[in-house]
Amino acid sequence: MHRIVLALLGFSLLLALGQSSSLFTPEEQKLLQTAGKEFYTALAEQPKDQALCSLYKNKLPADQLPGFLQEQRAKIKYPAKLMGDWKRGGAIFNDMAKANCFSCHYGSPVHWGGNVGPSLEKYGQRGQSEAIQRYTYEVIYNPWAYFPCTVMYRFGVHGLLTPEEIADVVAYLLDPASDFNTKPAATGGQ
């Protein structure tokens, strides 16, 4: 933590003096210098994990990974059951105002999917073992516990979905009766 604070203080001094920083390209430095106090304040007051991702441009050094992953896993809270109701999960998965999963992931039978995240088509064929349920739940709750600094929303960490809602999405992805697993993925811009 002290290293992050020192790095941010050093960065602010470099900005104030107009000197170069090895963390940022000259173009990035110019943008930061002209962005204003509000931007710098937001950058300086990031949570520790986000500050690390920003500091290392989303590529954490190997010596930082074990501690980072352990801290991220500690943030995960679990519901009574890892798989909830797949119908509620489908509504959440396909709701643009809720999880909006299909915008990044291909595989939804309702909406034409995105290609930012991995395809989830036939995801339920992985089975429903507790290990698969737990992994799926944890990745939705806090993907940084597996993929540090990924752009995927940390639905549970940020309170975007409750543990029970995440369990519903897990059921939507894994339950063999779910339309996610019984219907083909939508295509053609539906």
pLDDT score, position 14: 45
Highest mean pLDDT among 106-110, 150-154, 160-164, 178-182: 160-164
pTM: 0.75
| 8-25: pLDDT as tens digits | 444 554 444 444 445 667
Question: Using only C-alpha atoms, what is the Rg of the chain?
Answer: 20
Domain 86-182: give its CATH superfamily: Cytochrome c-like domain (1.10.760.10)
Residue 29 has pLDDT above 90, yes or no: no
| 103-153: pLDDT as tens digits | 999 988 888 888 899 999 989 998 999 999 999 999 999 999 999 999 999
CB 179 within 8 A of CB 109: yes
Quickly state the pLDDT bin for 187 (edges 50, 70, 90). confident
Q: Which has the minimum average pLDDT: 61-65, 88-92, 112-116, 117-121?
A: 112-116
Q: pLDDT above 70 covers what percent of the chain?
A: 81
What residue has token string 């019984």?
Answer: 182
Quickly state the pLDDT bin for 42 (edges 50, 70, 90). low
Q: Residue 66 in 3-state DSSP?
A: helix
Q: Which has the minimum average pLDDT: 54-58, 67-71, 113-117?
A: 54-58
Quickly state the pLDDT bin for 43 (edges 50, 70, 90). low
Among 79, 40, 54, smallest CA distance to 148 is for 54
Is 178 exposed, middle or buried, given 0-12, 13-18 or 19+ CB atoms closer than 10 A?
buried
Structural domain boundaries in the chain: 2-70, 86-182
pLDDT score, position 21: 46
